[in-house]
Amino acid sequence: MDRQLLLEATGTLLAFLVLYCLWKSKASTGISAPEPKGAWPIIGHLHLLGEKTPVFRTLAAMADKHGPIFTIQIGMRRALVVSGKETIMECFTTNDRAFVSRPKSAAVKYMGYDGAMSVFGPHGPYWRELRKVMILKLLANSRLELMKHLRASEVGLCINDLYSLCVKQLNGVSEGLDNCHKPGATKVDMTHWFRLVPMNLMLRAIAGKDIIMLQDLRRRRYGLSEDEKDGEARLFSRALDQFSFLTGAFECSDVIPFIEWMDLQGHVRLMKQNAKVMDCFMSRWPEEHVQSRKNGQAKEEHDFMDVLLSIFPEDGMEHGHTNKNIIKGTALSLILGGSDTTTATMTWALSLLLNHKKSLKLVQQELDMHVGRERWVEESDIKDLIYLQAVVKETLRLYPPGPPRINRRLSRGRPERFLHRDVKAGERGREFEFEYLPFSSGRRSCPGARAAYLMIHLTLARLLQGFDVATPTNEAVDMSEGLGLVLPKATLLEVVVSPRLKRELYLQ
């Protein structure tokens, strides 16, 4: 009897496997793109996409071998990888609708307010409505013009802080610096500094919060004690760093859903913890605005939070999401998109200039020619700084802020790209055709691209106008890529800065 049951069970299992293979074969008859060898049962090609090497590097190597379009098996999902210029243009134009959606993931579920954070959400009525709000209400050209004074103010504060650090070093050269540096030159973690500028701007623009984290820069440099406000700023900054890492990290359960309960990597636990910390900040800001309105203390100048509260009343629902979660998710999207991508681009730009000193000199000569040394560069001057604009464009081509990552689900397709460094895509005779997609394209193009360009150009222009920059021992900068939602440097960017303008300008 037992033997008969065993035979029946074995037969059933074999029949199931045969039916599954037939179904899979039928389902894949329309796919002609090649697939690399080495896929394992259940996990597919995941073992080839290690976490120590950026995924786009691995995919680029596969593209060199298998061509501009191929498929890979990611867990229980099949993904289409596209790198050819013509194919990518088709993806973002003719077939844009087929690639516009986004998959569900643990990060969106636990940290993105279960889909209310529309930037990671699927294509649909809710996504379209929130994108319209972003483009027409929050990031329109008219509002960006109103924020002009905020950008200038935040960049000015950070520049003044760098000068304060230099003044404290006038009596000697910092430890660990080469003797060739000027007196007053000081070593600064520019990765951290570049993070402060857009972060402070976004916090003021979104919530009207003056959470200045510049004190953290001084404290780390001079070992000063922190007060309550600084501690809160550091907590928020660390939580945002972790949010960015977890959103960009590969989570096994996204491609093998039935193992989520096991939390093999520990990511789900960290996501839940991070969500609680971030929600403390995101919940407090709209509550403060509502309370200010009730007390008759509403500001004349409305920030993004005021705009969102006027569109989404506090006690309402939209497309299955509470208005509270919509407001918090949208604010978090703006902070994340407005700080991380900008920080990464400015860090890479300065790193490239430090490794190409001739280009660095040309940028500063251009600033001296068109702006001079008697006043600070303004946004209105950027149009004349052609070489600086070229530096930013080349940085975005070499190090796009949103590199290709593993797509957890392929419903109709999604282009993953590494066109920026494809020599074949850029060759036209003996000329190089600089075409790139740093902020994506089509329906999913970044609505904050113009805001990012404004901040990147102004910050780099002020920094390079106001300071000479060099590496501590004049060595080359390590250009290794790190891991995350954006494309960070693997190592910190430590730079020696020394003032190059007259003292009065820094004290304005």
Residues in the annotated binding site for heme: 446
Cβ pair 497, 182 in contact under 8 A: no
Those residues whose C-beta lies under 8 Å from the C-beta of residue 244, and which sit 6 or more positions away, are 336, 340, 484, 485, 486
SS3 223: coil
Nearest to 499 by CA among 474, 476, 466, 465: 466
Rg (CA), the chain: 25
Cβ pair 481, 248 in contact under 8 A: no
Cβ pair 67, 34 in contact under 8 A: yes
Cβ pair 118, 131 in contact under 8 A: yes
Nearest to 412 by CA among 76, 88, 130, 96: 96
* Calpha distance 241→340 (Å, rounded): 9
Nearest to 88 by CA among 79, 77, 78, 99: 99
Q: Which residues of 422-438 are buried (b: 16+ CB within 10 A; e: fewer)?
A: beebbeeeeeeeeebbb
SS3 78: strand
The distance from CA 67 to its chain's CA centroid, rounded to whole angstroms, is 28
Region for residue 22 given its phi and psi (left: phi exceeds 0; alpha: psi -120 to 50; beta: otherwise): alpha
Query: What stretch of H or E contains 151?
Result: helix 148-167
Query: What angle is formed at CA 216 by the lines to CA 210 and CA 220, rounded to 5 degrees?
Result: 175
SS3 495: strand
Handedness of CA 161, 162, 165, 170 (dihedral sign): negative
Name beta bridge partners: 188.
495
- φ and ψ at 322, to 5 degrees? -70, 150
Known binding residues are: 446
Nearest to 191 by CA among 216, 228, 154, 223: 216
- Would you tell me how many other CB atoms lie within 10 Å of the CB of residue 466? 21
